[in-house]
């Protein structure tokens, strides 16, 4: 039976391509993978921009600054080790997202209000 | 039954590709698609990394402070591009360490152009104009490639790449307006880099084993020959601004096709260089292996330090 | 001010040049990019200081022309620019500290030197940004932002390598051993520094000795590295008496400019 949300490394193939156990191939000289999220300007969300390798969080932030903001692309950086990313399973996309299709009341245009009503 | 299921998945996959819907890391994809992508993306990444070497050669000899700074920034960008691409490939379930190992052991290929030597300062200009120009021509369509992480990496790369070609052309332009010795240096570099550059588009369509399937999957969006022709047409015009010649006596405008005809490419040379017999293949790989090996103790030290810190932290919590 | 600006430029250029030797050869991609960034910052700082020095030179050529004896330099027609200063002076006319011209060594040497120099530049620029000389103040203020990051980055690496593996610890000890004899020179004033100090533009570099030693000791303490005593040291860089390394560095860096006199690049 499939679990609804699988804990997988970013980009992991799950059971289709058995991934070697953590540490089995990890050489001491290979740093773990981190995902990088950057806020490009005040008021915007942090957005996933890519990944990099670093030995620790501090280094990951500094690397992210050097790698992903060489052209002033950001003002704030988040990093998270890729193995801690939990992702939904695309095979379940139908049951995961489709139910929201008919919940039009979540969308503001559903409500029929007089035009005179401003700033809402 | 199971076979039927696979066929359906493949059909769904192809439908998505046909509708220009991006494939994302966890989506189902044919194993062959995954392999093709890993091969193409990692080769692309390796090309960026090996490509740092011929230009890096001239960082310490760049003839002005402005040129020096620009060249460092450019070579550094290539490291960044290699990193974006390795990251994209990693979403397909291969680690960077594995890919680097494939490069170092000669299992993985990279663009043959970087096995040519950079002999004069003008070569830095010629690489920017011709090699980066050819690269951009290949890369712009890849911004719409079917695999999401690859396409996104390419968008980022293409944005950064445009300054590379401009700086290269500017170097050549300055030389072409300089002393006689500088003009000669400029023409010499164009002579040496022209043919390898047009080889960069890969073998002719009728001899390119992967093109058809890659086109169907929209990994590639134009054929090698289409891109090559476009590049020749553009360069044939641009070279006039430099007042220089492209080293091809058969190059001429053909009003019937609306394109430039050009001479025969020496594919023998191409295959030789690809298979390891270029002027610098061994030095390039040796330089990469040396950097990697000499960096091992550094990477190990950082890992050891990080795990000591993590232990201290968990001890403090407990 | 001319010699002071030149000295600051020389330090930044030579150190930036050494660091740029890592571009394409770093211990991994991420660190290759990081050290290249620092090299770029330094070359940028060098350009600002050279441009200012060139302006001062052009404004008062008669006073400064005897400073240099390099024939290539004196062949320049009209006003000089940043590149004439960088590419046409001979080794004995460079006024950088000896430490920056030493070979890049392994990652431990590069990191340790970067940390030593960045700490020094941090102290120096922190004061210089308030100098009565507005240009120096402005360049220092801009450079200081970059230097803060260099101190942080190299300081973290000092700790990481000192407290990493046995090998990294040993390599750090070797690096410190190699670089320590060049630390003392940072705090010994040259004439141009004394002049600037007398006119209130700059503190006497002796003033930075204690805070520098304190900060270094703090980092070394965290890294588990022993702090050597500051005894005998090598000096002469600021007077133009260099190690053997600078000549080779310049021969490589300057050759194109020298072999095509007067050409534009």
- Taken in order of first residue, the domains within chain C and their CATH numbers are 2-259 (1.20.1260.10)
**pLDDT reading at B301 higher than 80:** yes
The residue count for chain A: 120
Best of A16, A20, A28 to disrupt the B interface (most B CBs within 10 Å) is: A28
Whether A51 has its CB under 8 Å from any CB of chain C: the answer is: no
Query: Three-state DSSP class for B304?
Result: helix
Of B83, B181, B301, the CB nearest to C160: B301
Structure tokens at C253: 């860096």
Percent pLDDT > 70 in chain C is 100
Whether A53 has its CB under 8 Å from any CB of chain B: the answer is: yes
Residue A40 lies in a domain: yes
Residue A3 lies in a domain: no
pLDDT of res. B8: 87
Q: Mean pLDDT across the stretch B236-243?
A: 96
pTM of the entire predicted model: 0.90
**pLDDT reading at A22 higher than 50:** no
How does residue A120 score in pLDDT terms, banded at 50, 70 and 90? Answer: low
Percent pLDDT > 90 in chain A is 32
Whether A61 has its CB under 8 Å from any CB of chain B: the answer is: no
The minimum CA-CA distance between A25 and chain B, rounded to whole Å, is 9
Q: Mean pLDDT across the stretch A81-101?
A: 71
Render pLDDT for B17-58 as a digit per residue (tens, 0 to 9): 999 999 999 899 999 999 999 999 999 999 999 999 999 999
Query: Three-state DSSP class for B27?
Result: coil
> What number of CA atoms fall less than 13 Å from residue B58's CA on the CB side?
26
Which of B172-186, B201-215, C237-251 is least confident? B201-215
pLDDT of res. B207: 74
Render pLDDT for C200-259 as a digit per residue (tens, 0 to 9): 878 899 999 999 999 999 999 999 999 998 888 899 999 999 999 999 999 999 999 999
Structure tokens at C16: 């930036």
pLDDT of res. C32: 97
Whether B61 has its CB under 8 Å from any CB of chain C: the answer is: yes
Q: Rounded to the nearest 5 degrees, what angle is found at the Cα of C38, between the Cα atoms of A50 and B308?
A: 65
Whether A71 has its CB under 8 Å from any CB of chain C: the answer is: no
pLDDT of res. C92: 96
Whether A62 has its CB under 8 Å from any CB of chain C: the answer is: yes
Inspect the interface and report whether the beta carbons of B93 and A27 lie closer than 8 Å: no
Query: Chain A contacts of B76, Cβ < 8 Å?
Result: 70
> What number of CA atoms fall less than 13 Å from residue B54's CA on the CB side?
28
Of A31, A70, A71, the CB nearest to B303: A31
Which of B202-216, B268-282, C182-196, C217-231 is least confident? B202-216
The minimum CA-CA distance between A36 and chain C, rounded to whole Å, is 13
Which of A24-28, B81-85, B141-145, B146-150 is least confident? A24-28
Residue A85 lies in a domain: yes
Q: Mean pLDDT across the stretch C9-15?
A: 98
B78: nearest Cα among B114, B111, B52, B113: B52
Query: Chain A contacts of C153, Cβ < 8 Å?
Result: 62
**pLDDT reading at A4 higher than 50:** no
Q: Mean pLDDT across the stretch C81-92?
A: 97
Q: Mean pLDDT across the stretch C89-98?
A: 97
How does residue C95 score in pLDDT terms, banded at 50, 70 and 90? Answer: very high
Whether C156 has its CB under 8 Å from any CB of chain A: the answer is: yes
Could you tell me the residue range of the domain that residue A79 belongs to? Answer: 28-106
Query: Chain A contacts of C29, Cβ < 8 Å?
Result: 53
Inspect the interface and report whether the beta carbons of C34 and A66 lie closer than 8 Å: yes
How does residue C199 score in pLDDT terms, banded at 50, 70 and 90? Answer: confident
- Give the total number of structural domains in chain A: 1
Q: What count of other Cβ atoms lies within 10 Å of the Cβ of residue B88? A: 27
Residue A16 lies in a domain: no
Whether C40 has its CB under 8 Å from any CB of chain A: the answer is: no
Whether A50 has its CB under 8 Å from any CB of chain C: the answer is: no
Whether B236 has its CB under 8 Å from any CB of chain C: the answer is: no
How does residue B314 score in pLDDT terms, banded at 50, 70 and 90? Answer: confident
Render pLDDT for A34-68 as a digit per residue (tens, 0 to 9): 999 999 888 889 999 999 999 999 999 999 999 99
How does residue A72 score in pLDDT terms, banded at 50, 70 and 90? Answer: confident
Q: Mean pLDDT across the stretch B121-137?
A: 96
Inspect the interface and report whether the beta carbons of C40 and B76 lie closer than 8 Å: yes
Q: Mean pLDDT across the stretch B174-201?
A: 97
Rounded to whole angstroms, how far apart are CA atoms B40 and B15? Answer: 22
Instruction: Classify B231 in phi/psi space as left (phi over 0), alpha (psi -120 to 50) or beta.
Output: alpha
**pLDDT reading at A105 higher than 60:** no
CATH at residue A91: 3.10.20.520
Q: Mean pLDDT across the stretch B190-214?
A: 86
Q: Are A12 and B95 in contact (CB under 8 A)?
A: no
Q: Are B129 and B55 in contact (CB under 8 A)?
A: no
Q: Which residues are CB-contacts of B28 (< 8 A; sequence separation ≥ 6)?
A: A90, A91, B9, B12, B13
**pLDDT reading at B219 higher than 60:** yes
Query: Chain A contacts of C160, Cβ < 8 Å?
Result: 55
Whether A91 has its CB under 8 Å from any CB of chain B: the answer is: yes
Inspect the interface and report whether the beta carbons of A27 and B76 lie closer than 8 Å: no
pLDDT of res. A70: 79
Task: Please name the residues between 73 and 92 in chain C that touch chain A, using a CB distance below 8 Å.
Answer: none
Q: Give me the long-range contacts of C210-216 (CB less than 8 A, separation at least 24).
A: C211/C123, C212/C119, C212/C120, C212/C123, C212/C186, C212/C187, C215/C119, C216/C115, C216/C116, C216/C119
Residue A6 lies in a domain: no
**pLDDT reading at B155 higher than 80:** yes
Residue A99 lies in a domain: yes
Rounded to whole angstroms, how far apart are CA atoms C130 and C141? Answer: 8
Helix ranges restricted to H, chain C? 2-20, 29-59, 61-64, 71-74, 82-87, 98-101, 107-128, 134-162, 166-179, 191-198, 209-223, 244-259
- Show the 3-state SS of C70-83: CHHHHCCCCCCCHH
Inspect the interface and report whether the beta carbons of C265 and B295 lie closer than 8 Å: no
Of A13, A67, A71, the CB nearest to B93: A13
Q: Are B124 and B102 in contact (CB under 8 A)?
A: no
The minimum CA-CA distance between B135 and chain A, rounded to whole Å, is 21
Q: Which residues are CB-contacts of B201 (< 8 A; sequence separation ≥ 6)?
A: B134, B137, B138, B224, B225, B227, B228, B231
Query: Longest Cα pair distance anywhere in chain A, in angstroms?
Result: 67
Q: Mean pLDDT across the stretch B201-226?
A: 81
Nearest chain C residue (CA) to A52: C30
Comparing B289 with A8, the larger pLDDT belongs to: B289
Residue A35 lies in a domain: yes
B280: nearest Cα among B160, B84, B129, B113: B113
Whether A80 has its CB under 8 Å from any CB of chain C: the answer is: no
pLDDT of res. B70: 96
CA distances from C260 to B118, B202, B204, B318, C35 (A): 19, 38, 42, 69, 31
How does residue A73 score in pLDDT terms, banded at 50, 70 and 90? Answer: confident
Nearest chain A residue (CA) to B310: A56
Residue A36 lies in a domain: yes
Task: Please name the residues between 3 and 32 in chain A that touch chain C, using a CB distance below 8 Å.
Answer: 31
Comparing A72 with B282, the larger pLDDT belongs to: B282
DSSP type of residue B306: H
Nearest chain A residue (CA) to B302: A55
Query: Chain C contacts of B76, Cβ < 8 Å?
Result: 23, 32-33, 36-37, 40
Paired with A79 in beta bridges are A36
Task: Please provide the average confidence, as pLDDT, over all residues in chain C.
Answer: 96
Render pLDDT for A10-20 as a digit per residue (tens, 0 to 9): 333 333 333 33
How does residue A100 score in pLDDT terms, banded at 50, 70 and 90? Answer: low
Dihedral sign (CA A72, A73, A77, A83): negative
Rounded to a whole number of angstroms, the distance between the first and last alpha carbons of chain B is 54
């Amino acid at each position: 039976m499939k679990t609804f949300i699988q804990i997988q490394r970013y980009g992991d193939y799950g059971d289709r391509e058995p991934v070697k156990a953590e540490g089995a191939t990890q050489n001491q000289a290979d740093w773990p993978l981190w995902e990088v999220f950057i806020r490009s300007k005040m008021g915007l969300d942090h957005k996933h921009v890519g990944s990099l390798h670093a030995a620790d969080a501090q280094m990951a932030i500094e690397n992210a600054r050097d790698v992903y903001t060489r052209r002033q692309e950001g003002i704030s950086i988040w990093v998270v080790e890729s193995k801690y990313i939990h992702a939904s399973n695309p095979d379940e996309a139908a049951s995961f997202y489709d139910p929201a299709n008919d919940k039009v009341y979540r969308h503001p245009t559903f409500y029929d209000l007089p035009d005179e009503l401003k700033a809402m | 039954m199971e076979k039927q299921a696979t066929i359906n998945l493949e059909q769904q996959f192809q439908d998505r590709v046909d509708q220009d819907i991006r494939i994302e890391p966890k989506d189902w994809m044919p194993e062959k698609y995954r392999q093709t992508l890993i091969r193409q993306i990692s080769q692309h990444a390796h090309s960026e990394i090996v490509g740092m070497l011929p230009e890096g050669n001239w960082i310490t000899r760049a003839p002005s402070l402005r040129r020096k700074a620009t060249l460092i920034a450019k070579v550094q960008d290539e490291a960044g591009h290699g990193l974006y691409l390795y990251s994209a490939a990693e979403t397909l379930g291969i680690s960077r360490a594995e890919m680097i190992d494939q490069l170092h052991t000669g299992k993985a290929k990279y663009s043959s152009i970087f096995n040519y030597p950079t002999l004069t300062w003008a070569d830095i200009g010629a690489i920017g104009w011709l090699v980066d120009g050819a690269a951009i021509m290949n890369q712009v369509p890849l911004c719409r490639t079917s695999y999401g992480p690859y396409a996104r990496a390419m968008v980022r790369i293409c944005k950064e790449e445009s300054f590379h070609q401009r700086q290269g052309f500017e170097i050549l332009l300055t030389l072409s307006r300089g002393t006689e010795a500088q003009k000669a240096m400029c023409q010499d570099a164009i002579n040496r880099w022209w043919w390898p550059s047009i080889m960069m588009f890969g073998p002719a369509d009728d001899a390119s084993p992967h093109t058809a399937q890659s086109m169907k999957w929209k990994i590639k969006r134009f054929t090698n020959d289409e891109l090559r022709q476009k590049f020749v047409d553009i360069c044939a015009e641009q070279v006039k601004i430099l007042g220089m010649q492209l080293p091809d006596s058969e190059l001429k405008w053909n009003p019937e096709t609306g394109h430039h005809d050009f001479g025969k490419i020496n594919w023998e040379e191409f295959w030789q260089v690809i298979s390891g017999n270029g002027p610098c293949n061994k030095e390039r790989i040796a330089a990469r292996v040396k950097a990697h090996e000499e960096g091992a103790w550094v990477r190990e030290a950082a890992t050891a330090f990080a795990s000591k810190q993590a232990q201290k932290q968990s001890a403090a919590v407990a | 001010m001319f010699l002071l600006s030149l000295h600051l430029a020389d330090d930044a250029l030579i150190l930036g040049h050494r660091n740029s030797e890592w571009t394409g050869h770093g211990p991994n991609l991420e660190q290759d990019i990081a050290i290249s960034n620092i090299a770029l910052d330094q070359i940028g700082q060098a350009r600002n200081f050279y441009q200012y020095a060139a302006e001062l030179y052009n404004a008062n050529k008669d006073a400064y022309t005897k400073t240099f004896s390099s024939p290539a330099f004196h062949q320049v027609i009209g006003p000089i620019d940043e590149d004439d200063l960088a590419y046409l002076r001979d080794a004995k006319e460079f006024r950088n500290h000896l430490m920056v011209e030493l070979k890049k060594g392994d990652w431990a040497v590069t990191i340790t030197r970067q940390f030593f120099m960045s700490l020094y530049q941090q102290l120096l620029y922190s004061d210089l940004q308030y100098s009565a000389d507005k240009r120096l103040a402005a360049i220092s203020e801009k450079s200081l932002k970059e230097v803060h990051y260099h101190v942080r980055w190299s300081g973290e690496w000092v700790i990481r390598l000192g407290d990493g593996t046995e090998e990294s610890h040993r390599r750090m000890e070797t690096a410190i051993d190699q670089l320590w004899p060049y630390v003392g020179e940072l705090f010994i004033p040259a004439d141009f520094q004394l002049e600037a100090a007398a006119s209130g533009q700059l503190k006497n570099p002796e003033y930075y000795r204690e805070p520098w030693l304190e900060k270094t000791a703090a980092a070394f303490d965290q890294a588990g590295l022993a702090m050597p005593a500051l005894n005998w040291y090598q000096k002469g860089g600021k007077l133009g008496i260099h190690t053997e390394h600078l000549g080779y560095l310049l021969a490589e860096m300057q050759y194109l400019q020298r072999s095509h006199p007067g050409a534009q690049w």
